[in-house]
Structure 1
């Protein structure tokens, strides 16, 4: 199982970020994408529910969707070993 760009797109859409960010927006911080702390907690909760990976502490305003996707995939890989 992997956390894909499509998964991230769906998560961002679920918390109210429209497609305007596009994949290029994944390198922008959650703050730059105007996602508040409640939206970030929702993202972390959905990742926990779907992938079993706890990232709530890492989903900061400075983190990027791309960085978060990488982190989730690293943890999924480590858990599979």
Structure 2
């Protein structure tokens, strides 16, 4: 068994964001697109949750974002950053 990174061609979607947020403990009622403009602090997601999100994004998309995943960052901003990096724009 190899430890390969799987990179999708579609990028990080809103559905992917929802799954990431649910996986780190955000409740289903809050893990909706309307909340993706709120900061991780406003969503009550601590540094451990952010590290877990960064790790999962690294594993799934091969994109390193941990230094950019601050308390003030938003899920939408992270989605855009990942997609820009996948497209070679960042």
Aligned residue for 1:13, secondary structure, equals: helix
Residue in 2 that maps onto 1:59: 69
Kindly indicate whether residue 71 of structure 2 is the aligned counterpart of residue 34 of structure 1: no
Residue in 2 that maps onto 1:69: 79
Aligned residue for 2:16, secondary structure, equals: helix
Measured in 1, the distance between the counterparts of 2:29 and 2:73 equals 19
**Larger CA Rg, structure 1 vs 2:** 2
Offset at 1:18? 1.4
Alignment of 1:6-25 (within 5 A): 6-21=15-30, 22-25=32-35
User: Where in structure 1 do 4 or more consecutive aligned residues deviate above 2 Å?
Assistant: none
Q: Which has the higher helix share?
A: 1
* TM-score for the superposition, normalised by structure 1: 0.94
Offset at 1:19? 1.8
Measured in 1, the distance between the counterparts of 2:42 and 2:29 equals 13
Kindly indicate whether residue 7 of structure 2 is the aligned counterpart of residue 5 of structure 1: no
Task: Give the gaps of 5 or more residues in structure 2.
Answer: 1-8
